Structure 1
Amino acid sequence: MAAPESVAGPAPAAGPRPLPEPLPASVPAAPPYPPPLPAYAPQAVARPGGVSPRVRVALRWTSVLLVFAVFGAGTAYAVTRPERTKIPGLKTPDDGRWRYPQVALPKLPARKPRPLDAALNPGGVHYADVRSLLLAPPGRAVNDPAFPGTTGWLTVAAFLKVRVGGGGSQQELFLKEQGLRHVAGRAWTMPDGTRTEVYLAQFISAGYATYYDQDADLKPIDGVTTDRLDTGLADRTVPRGVKVAGYDETAPYGDSMTRYAFLVAGDTVALVRQTRKGGEVPEQAFRQTVRLQAQLLG
């Protein structure tokens, strides 16, 4: 018996499948696949601003150091320009010393020893002109033209007037018999009224100079009634071999106060006298003057 036919009818014959209809123009085409990413390279990745954080930190510290360097250099320059006493916080108190020129010893003649060389110069002779050994006046000093300084010799009479009862032809003759050759002298006055007199009496040899010094210590200075020894005058700045004996006038002073000192160096006896009317002679200036003169004689 034949099979009944399907209700839907016979199966359609096999054939090619129809193509789909194209999409409307309003529908956008699908984007292509993105290209593959390159391999990760940290050094090639751009940083904000084009500079890495490490470089920015280094530049920042470099700028700070440059600012401090410029500031420090400017401060150092400013400090070196004005005088130290005019800089706030660095002002040095005035200790009473005077502004003396730098002490420089004169040149000795060829093959001549120094005066304190006991082995080569037993007589203690100053072969340099003793006038060149006079201490130069400090700044602001007014020179006394009555004293010849380096241009001549002081008279023996003027030198003897410094001592009590000094002067007279007999004493001049006595000094010459005691080996005195000549006397150099210089004097000046400072703005505060302090007057300084320096005498350099040169004898034939150190023996004659020592003998005169022993006699001089027993005779007072003109205008001084009582005095006391200045125990702090000689220090390590005084050359070895230079004898120093300083004295301070004790009160009452009268019209003026006096400080003085005898120095013996080889064949030369030096007398440094400072006086001041209406006030005391500055102690520090007196000691400074004596020590510098001692350095020139040594």
Structure 2
Amino acid sequence: MNVARRMWTLYEPVHAITYFTPEPLAAFQAAGLRGFWRGYFAGRAAPLGPVDAGPVVASFYNFAPAMVERALPDVWQRATPEAVLRARADGATAALARLLADQPAGAIAEAAELLADAARRVEPAGRVLGAANAALPVPDEPLTRLWQAATTLREHRGDGHVAALVAAGVGPCEVLVWRSAYDMSREVLQPIRGWTDAEWDDAARRLTERGWLDAEGRPTDTALAAHRDIEAATDRAAAGPWESVDVERLSDLLTPIAATCRAALPAETPIGLPRHDRAA
């Protein structure tokens, strides 16, 4: 496994606790954002400022536009981006404080500093969400710094992944249909990304006509080769921050942190992390 991919498996669970633990949801609700999706869209979009739905449809990529439009720009009438940024940091910090209570404080602080060093090295050009998060102040509190660095790095990687998908001509719904045929389930992906049955079926038809799915909806060799190319391009685009970081030391520090965070997540998530029973 190359460095960029290996580090993703370690920092992504740290970020993902935002969506699957109670503390962030409570923090968003306290800020005036009731319901999971208001907090989700506002929390991820807040570094961009009070944007309308368009930039979020573009940068989040695989959500149905109608689903995004139900949340934005309405959420900014309920909470300002500044209030949302405080809420997401407070919620993530509270969740990590609970989950990592038994971890050595010194190890957490060192991991946070090394991860923040990597986050300072992200390339902003062409990475809208990564650049917006990288521009935020670096928190002093180690748990908050750890989460913010993980978030910056995962959004930077995600920006590169979107670029690879666009270059490969794989549309937002198509990538979900493909993943449901490859290693995830339609039952998980479709409802939480907002696509209708008709839109999903149209995407499946396009993939079949392209030669990515066979008559039974299974991935073809052509699709598997394209998937490998897209993932390789994503890894290349995410490699820069790790060139001058002590990744071996950071890996040692992050491994128990990531394992604890991963155990707090559902076995299958739309993020695409390995299932508990498939994790290395």
TM-score, length of structure 2 as denominator length: 0.24
Structure number having the greater strand percentage: 1
Which protein is bigger by CA-based radius of gyration?
1
Higher relative contact order, chain-length normalized (CA < 8 Å, sep 6+): 2
TM-score, length of structure 1 as denominator length: 0.23
